[in-house]
Amino acid sequence: MLVRGMTSAVFLDRDGVINVDHGYVSTWEQFEFLPGVPEALRELQDAGYLLIVVSNQSGIGRGYYSESDVDLLNQAVAEYLDSTAGVTLSGFYHCPHHPTEAENEYRKYCSCRKPAPGLIHRAMRDHAIDVKTSLLVGDKDSDIAAGKAAGVRRSAAKGGKTSGRQRRGARARRAVGQRVQSGACGKVECRGWQAVLCAECRQWERSDACGR
């Protein structure tokens, strides 16, 4: 049940979930939406969910690109989705740190780099989000772990490795291509990661196997 005065959200990793993970994507020219993502985001928005992006961006700490580069790319993504699909991204949250590979002040153990839940906690405070009625979609075990640590009860692993930069966890590999998600009404849809939303009851319930 949604707490009065609070809202539900979908927390989305960026690279590998919203866009093709080419490795340290930092410009609009490098950015490539995964198929069906704008339409899926619109469907989630129409169901009443805020859309929040939470991503590790250690490329900042490694010196590959700057905080300003990330902000400019986020702005371009938001403007594109708004103008072409009527989608509003309510917030972008990123962690620039890495515990061993970053430079100077960015080399640290922090509370915001997933699997730590700091980014989600910040979004919760900024937008009065009820995590019990929210969802997290990620493509790595660290994404799912961050959601669990923040109290997000429902999560979905998005498959689709595209760059070879990192190995995906077993959870994400099982999700490549299709994933079944069923709602409280028992209805089941299987349309890639868009299937997390039951069109009948607008409820979420995780199921691990697609059967395809």
Active site members: 13, 15
DSSP state of 147: H
**Cβ of 128: how many Cβ atoms within 10 Å?**
12
> Residue 11 and residue 206: Cα distance in Å, rounded?
15
> Residue 38 and residue 86: Cα distance in Å, rounded?
9
- Label the pairing between strands 50-56 and 9-12: parallel
**Burial class, 69, CB count within 10 angstroms (exposed 0-12 / middle 13-18 / buried 19+):** middle
> Residue 205 and residue 153: Cα distance in Å, rounded?
9
Cα Rg for the chain, rounded, in angstroms?
16
